[in-house]
Amino acid sequence: MAGWLDEIEPLKQTALAELNSAPDAAALERAKGAWLGPHGRFTALMKQLGSLPKEERPAAGKAINAAKAELEAALAARREALEQLAAMPKHPTDFTLPGRRRALGRLHPLTQVIEDIVRAFRKIGFAVADGPEIEDEYHCFDALNTPADHPARDTQDTFYVDAPPNAPHPRFPTSTNRWLLRTHTSSVQIRVMQSQPPPVRIIVPGRVFRRDNADATHNPTFHQVEGLYVDRGVTVGDLKGTVEFVFKEIMGRDVRIRFRPHYFSYTEPSYEIDFSNPLVKKMGRDWLEIAGCGMVNPVVFENVGYDPEVWTGWAFGFGVERIAMLRYGINDIRLFYENDVRFLRQF
């Protein structure tokens, strides 16, 4: 019966070749059926064992089982290889192709303008200060010499809110002590002066809130940059020179500045700053109002514990949107807040 055993090895080789070269899962399953399935060749061999002489059966059974084990292993290996093949992309990657460019974001035009203003002020020794957007009435108004019955409050009597969680409860005897979204960055003047002795040289970029209806030039949320300079012997000349320097830095050499008398309760005297450049002329205007400013009112110094006989100072507040609109020729303030990339991409 040696001839019968001799047939196993070539049969196994044929089966292995078929399994290893099965082009896809279906072909592999067919090959498995043909060789190892209930009606497969090796199953048939197993069944024939019974017809062998008793003494030959163990050796033949062992040989068949060894061959079957080898085929099972080949089947599993091929199955895994085919699965990996199926998971691969149909079209091979071409690593010589240029990379996919990842779109880089950019800074919002308002951020760019704020950064330019900050950079200009840093050149002349100003530091950036910060304060809370949810503010108490005392810092926003009373300490700035604007008591509750002051008419200057009317335009800013605005978004009152409940006290923020964990807020210290302010109890200023002269104030009604409510909380609100700050209407200007001037509140930070008070906070800074309360927290440090003079001299002071700060600018405060920040977001402010007013009950304005949105139109082409107004929005209930906008941005300001506040400035405060306190030292001995400070004059309006310092103020004017500084403002002119900064506007030339951020808007170009052909800028002109004009001070027009105005009223703010926290400065005395007070001015509005008018601005002119070729773009303003193109808009058919000579001047555009762009900021408020003045010499710090001695009452404000008294409120923060600075001696008004020793210390003098000036302060100003710019609207950032105004400057950005002038700089980029934007005619509607609302464009800044829509986050339309077609708009933002241009800056």
Which residues of the shown chain bind ligand DAH in the complex (CB under 6 A)?
184, 186, 226, 264, 266-267, 292-294, 315-317
Number of Cβ atoms within 10 Å of the Cβ of 308: 14
Decide: 324 and 275 in contact? Cβ < 8 Å.
no
Q: Name which of 245 and 263 has its Cβ closer to ligand DAH.
A: 263
CA 119 to mean position of chain CA atoms:
21
Strand, coil or helix: what is 77? helix
The single-letter code of the amino acid at 154 is D
Q: Cα–Cα distance between 133 and 137 in angstroms, integer? A: 12
Q: Name which of 12 and 184 has its Cβ closer to ligand DAH.
A: 184
Q: Shortest Cβ distance from residue 155 to ligand DAH (Å)?
A: 8
Q: Shortest Cβ distance from residue 293 to ligand DAH (Å)?
A: 5
* Crossing angle between the packed helical segments 320-328 and 236-251, to the nearest 10 degrees: 40
Q: Name which of 306 and 316 has its Cβ closer to ligand DAH.
A: 316
Q: Name which of 131 and 292 has its Cβ closer to ligand DAH.
A: 292
Q: Cα–Cα distance between 22 and 136 in angstroms, integer? A: 79
Decide: 316 and 344 in contact? Cβ < 8 Å.
no
**Torsions phi, psi of 305, nearest 5?**
85, 20
Q: Name which of 109 and 294 has its Cβ closer to ligand DAH.
A: 294
The single-letter code of the amino acid at 225 is V
Q: Shortest Cβ distance from residue 96 to ligand DAH (Å)?
A: 59
Q: Shortest Cβ distance from residue 315 to ligand DAH (Å)?
A: 3
Report whether the peptide linkage leading into residue 109 is cis, meaning its omega lies within 30 degrees of zero.
Answer: no
Q: Shortest Cβ distance from residue 138 to ligand DAH (Å)?
A: 16
Q: Is the dihedral of CA 90, 92, 98, 101 positive or negative?
A: positive
The single-letter code of the amino acid at 86 is A
C-alpha closest to that of 126 among 233, 245, 235: 245
Tokens of 233: 């012997």
Q: Shortest Cβ distance from residue 188 to ligand DAH (Å)?
A: 10
Q: Name which of 261 and 329 has its Cβ closer to ligand DAH.
A: 261
Q: Name which of 11 and 299 has its Cβ closer to ligand DAH.
A: 299
Q: Shortest Cβ distance from residue 245 to ligand DAH (Å)?
A: 17
